[in-house]
Amino acid sequence: MDCIQIEDREYRIEFNFNAIGDFLDAKGYTLSKLERFADLSANDIVTLICCGIHEGERLEGRECDLQPKDIGAVMTGDDITAAIELINKHYTGKALADGGEGVVESKKKIRWTTK
């Protein structure tokens, strides 16, 4: 299970096809858009992260009112790198470079963990 801590709250994050579908619907994209992940904008990535958090929290039976702007306001470059690694892990099934477990902490109040 993967989590993201924003401020004082930890959120479960899941990039399953529910989250991917919500992202594609929110942006008006088709699945082929994800074939060129590098072409996604910063706003696209933050929206995808938000959809992943909403899906993770849904699976935990919790409500989540975070919006992409809330997440983007606390993200740094390191967070974007961690998010891309996590999205890749969920979407392709490939583990993180360090063997599938790790923690990336940024200078702001955000912490990415994989368990």
- Structure pTM? 0.78
Binning the chain into helix, strand and coil, the percentages to the nearest 5 are 50, 15, 30
How confident is the model at residue 19, as a pLDDT? 94
Give residue limits of the domains in the chain: 2-114
How confident is the model at residue 104, as a pLDDT? 44
Structure tokens at 35: 């074939």
Structure tokens at 91: 């979407």
Q: Of 66 and 99, which is predicted with more confidence?
A: 66
Structure tokens at 87: 């999205």
